[in-house]
């Protein structure tokens, strides 16, 4: 019996090491992309808004007619595509993080209240969640933006509307399970104030779930922002985002595919890394899912 304990410990340590390795494998490339976009003003790039009509529709450097002065080519106004992808990533990440957080905070709070108190708070919040999930996102976004106008704040508010319900539903389910655990029942029997149970015991046990959900939701927010910008409901020029670049290049897909291809590739890579990172974190943080 004593000889089996070290083998079990080494196996558990190996599983955790592989889980951390998976998180790092997806997290490091995502962090590198984010840092490159964040420090784009410090990189030797062209002005993303500078228009040089004589350089319009210049192909990437490896194609005939291209030049290394514009490695990824130029758009129909002669603006450097590489610079616009880098600077557009700044705003895309800012919108994604802001939309994610503005949805996560109220959604987590409402889910915690709904699951812990039950009764009429649970009924009211659950009906709100169901109503939110039943509304088509595009129609809701069109209604809000048409009534409030296009601006960065309105766009972030719209993106927050699509995320809070998912947080509330998941956190409510986790809270319903936690509130029946022996340690919570013991605290309630001991007369510990409810606010202390929530802040000192419930919230720490929900951090892992919320962290994984925020990671997964970030990819959804990026796709939603790109869809709205593509439909002309997103950022307002001269602001740049990857979705806005897709919208600018849709009319030149047959003649200048690179205008839309590179921001589309950036969206694909970032969303894929975010989703893989979320899955890896879920497997790492949840002992029942640590299999690699």
Predicted confidence (pLDDT) per residue in 24-66, tens digit? 888 899 999 999 999 988 888 888 888 888 888 888 988 887 7
pLDDT band (50, 70, 90) for residue 266? very high
Over residues 236-259, mean pLDDT: 85
Whether the CA torsion 81, 86, 87, 91 is positive or negative: it is positive
Q: Was domain 8-289 assigned CATH 2.40.30.10?
A: no
188 vs 191: CA distance, rounded Å: 5
Q: And the tokens for 123?
A: 């009924």
Residue-wise over 31-50: b if at least 16 C-beta within 10 A, else e? eebbeebeebeeeebbebee
**Does the pLDDT at position 204 exceed 90?**
no
Q: And the tokens for 204?
A: 């720490």
pLDDT band (50, 70, 90) for residue 4? very low
More confident residue, 290 or 136: 136
pLDDT value for 286: 61
**DSSP classification of residue 42:** G
Give the residue from 264, 266, 255 showing the smallest Cα distance to 57. Answer: 255
In the chain, where the domains are located: 8-289
pLDDT value for 24: 86
Instruction: State the distance between the two ends of the chain, measured CA to CA, in whole angstroms.
Output: 26
184 vs 136: CA distance, rounded Å: 38
Q: And the tokens for 76?
A: 């129909």
């Amino acid at each position: 019996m004593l000889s089996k304990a070290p083998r079990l410990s080494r196996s558990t340590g190996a599983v955790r090491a592989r889980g951390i390795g998976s998180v790092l494998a997806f997290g490091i490339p995502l962090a590198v992309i984010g840092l490159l976009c964040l420090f784009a003003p410090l990189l030797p790039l062209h002005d993303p808004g500078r228009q040089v009509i004589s350089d319009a529709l210049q192909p990437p450097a490896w194609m005939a007619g291209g030049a290394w002065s514009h490695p990824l080519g130029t758009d129909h106004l002669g603006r450097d595509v590489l610079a616009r992808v880098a600077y557009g990533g700044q705003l895309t990440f800012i919108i994604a993080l802001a939309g994610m957080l503005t949805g996560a905070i109220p959604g987590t709070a409402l889910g915690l209240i709904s699951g812990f108190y039950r009764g009429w708070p649970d009924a009211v919040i659950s009906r709100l969640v169901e109503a939110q999930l039943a509304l088509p996102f595009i129609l809701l976004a069109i209604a809000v933006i048409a009534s409030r106008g296009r601006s960065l704040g309105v766009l972030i508010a719209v993106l927050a509307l699509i995320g809070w319900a998912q947080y509330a539903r998941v956190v409510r389910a986790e809270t319903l399970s936690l509130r029946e655990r022996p340690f919570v029942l013991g605290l309630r029997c001991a007369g510990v104030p409810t606010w202390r149970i929530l802040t000192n015991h419930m919230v720490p046990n929900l951090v892992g779930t919320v962290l994984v959900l925020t990671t997964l939701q970030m990819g959804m927010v990026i796709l939603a922002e790109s869809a709205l910008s593509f439909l002309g409901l997103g950022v307002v020029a001269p602001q740049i985002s990857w979705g806005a670049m897709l919208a600018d290049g849709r009319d030149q897909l047959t003649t200048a595919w690179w205008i839309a291809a590179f921001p589309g590739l950036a969206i694909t890579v970032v969303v894929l890394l975010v989703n893989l990172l979320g899955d890896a974190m879920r497997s790492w943080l949840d002992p029942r899912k640590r299999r690699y």
